[in-house]
Amino acid sequence: MHNHSTRSDGLLSPTQLIELAARTGVDAIALTDHDTTEGLEEAGRAAAHLGVTLVPGVEISVSWGMTTLHVLGLQVDPGAAELADGLRAIRDGRLERAARIAEGLAKVGIEATLEGALACAENKDMVSRTHFARHLVERGAVKDTQAAFDKYLAKGKPAFVPHRWAGLEEAIEWIRASGGVAVLAHPGRYDLKPAFRDEMLADFKRLGGEAIEVVTGSHRPEQYAMWQRVAEEHGFLASRGADYHGPGESPCEPGRLPALHASLTPVWSKWAH
Ligand code: AMP
Ligand code: MN
Ligand code: MN
Ligand code: MN
């Protein structure tokens, strides 16, 4: 229930992603590109052709105070105006942010990265830190994309540029207005002290969030049990998703993660009968 394509920072086209799902025996897959639903039409055509069920989705970048959260919308209608307008508004800031990331890299001696990062991005308004990471690998500045984040691009590193994304309330509102379900992505990845984490979960629930990811390629296996407990205690539906970005970058392919524990109610119980 969580995968990327070249429409955001994935390496496979929507068609190639669905082909991979068909090859690996996945019967339902969500495409959840960052801040865009542009790939859903192509993915839908490939899914119909190959007999795979596509769950139309999106992963929205959200600012909650100083913390960036990712909120998945599953079963969204990409034609809904409120969602489309909201996503366009958050994409708009990305180019300018990219120029500032390039400035940050130049300050530590890695000059002229903007053009290279843009060349890695299919949609220039979706240029992301992942595209900078790939460009830094290409030019030999780091050994892999993870090192690019660890040395330069992650929060607290020299080329990190704080950015204002969507508000939590509005992101959930766009998802719900388009008929979708709001799912908190990889909750174990946010750097929040326990009191803030509880406040964030309470806000998410109060504002209409219905599910959290428990089993995800972005959690370490030893984190699954904790987020299972959180889902049970807070009354969230549970989701499972590879957060797949492409061969060589994501160790976990769609459909390869362990199943959700039987005590959890999967988010897809809302639509799959
Ligand atoms: P952006 O939306 O431009 O801030 O880019 C965020 C994307 O960068 C995420 O969706 C991940 O694909 C990737 N990313 C963020 N943090 C890391 C990290 N520490 N290590 C590897 N990839 C990361
Ligand atoms: Mn990503
Ligand atoms: Mn994410
Ligand atoms: Mn993701």
Give the DSSP H or E segment for 85: helix 81-92
pLDDT at position 251: 87
pLDDT at 272 over 90: no
Question: What's the pLDDT tens digit per position in 168-208?
Answer: 999 999 999 999 999 999 999 999 999 999 999 999 999 99
pLDDT at position 233: 97
Question: Which amino acid, 64?
Answer: W
Regarding the beta carbon of 9 and ligand 1, being less than 6 Å apart is answered yes
Q: Which of 33, 130, 146 to mutate to test the pocket of ligand 1 (most atoms within 8 A of CB)?
A: 130
Q: Which residues of 103-123 are buried (b: 16+ CB within 10 A; e: fewer)?
A: ebbeeeebeebbebbbebbbe
Give the DSSP H or E segment for 222: none
Closest CA to 77 of 56, 59, 91: 56
Regarding the beta carbon of 129 and ligand 1, being less than 6 Å apart is answered yes
Q: Which of 128, 145, 190, 191 to mutate to test the pocket of ligand 1 (most atoms within 8 A of CB)?
A: 128
| Residue 65 CB neighbour total at 10 angstroms | 12
Distance CA(50)–CA(205), nearest Å, equals 36
pLDDT at 19 over 90: yes
Identify the band that residue 273 occupies on the pLDDT scale cut at 50, 70 and 90: confident
Average pLDDT value over all residues in the chain: 97
Percentage above 90 pLDDT, the chain: 99
Question: What's the pLDDT tens digit per position in 220-254?
Answer: 999 999 999 999 999 999 999 999 999 999 989 99
Give 227 Cα–ligand 4 centroid separation in angstroms. 17
β-strand pairing of 166-167 with 53-64: parallel
